[in-house]
Amino acid sequence: MAYYVILANWTDEGIRGIRQSTDRVDAFRARVAEAGGKVLQFLYTMGVHDVVIVAEFPSDDAANRVVLRTGMQGFVRSVTLKAWSPEEFRALANGA
């Protein structure tokens, strides 16, 4: 499975509904699992981004579908980064 880092920020609607945020995390975890993935880490942060998520998905399409469905709810806007472990990157770099 591939790794993805999702950086999210509250929308106006998201910050107004902040008290329900942890309920939405549970729903997000379920959506990821339904797509065949797994949330490895979900962190609330302060600074440039409000939330950082590290997840595994079986494909870019599966990751994209979950992120798009989440964005459609209107509580966050996000940026998704595909990521590689050091071991995976070593194999890529050695093949370059």
Domain ranges of the chain: 2-94
Rounded Cα distance between 82 and 2, Å, is: 8
d(CA 16, CA 91): 45
- The pLDDT, as a whole number, for residue 9 is 98
The per-residue pLDDT for range 5-35, each reduced to its tens digit, is 999 999 999 999 999 999 999 999 999 999 9
**Contact 76/21 with Cβ under 8 angstroms?**
no
- Statement: residue 96 has pLDDT above 90: no
Contacts of 1 (CB under 8 A, 6+ apart): 37, 38, 56, 57, 58
Tokens of 60: 């870019």
- Looking at the DSSP bridge assignments, the partners of residue 8 are 51, 78
**Can you tell me the mean pLDDT for 33-58?**
98
Q: Write the pLDDT tens digit of every residue in 49-81.
A: 999 999 999 999 999 999 999 999 999 999 999
Fold exhibited by the domain 2-94? Alpha-Beta Plaits (3.30.70)
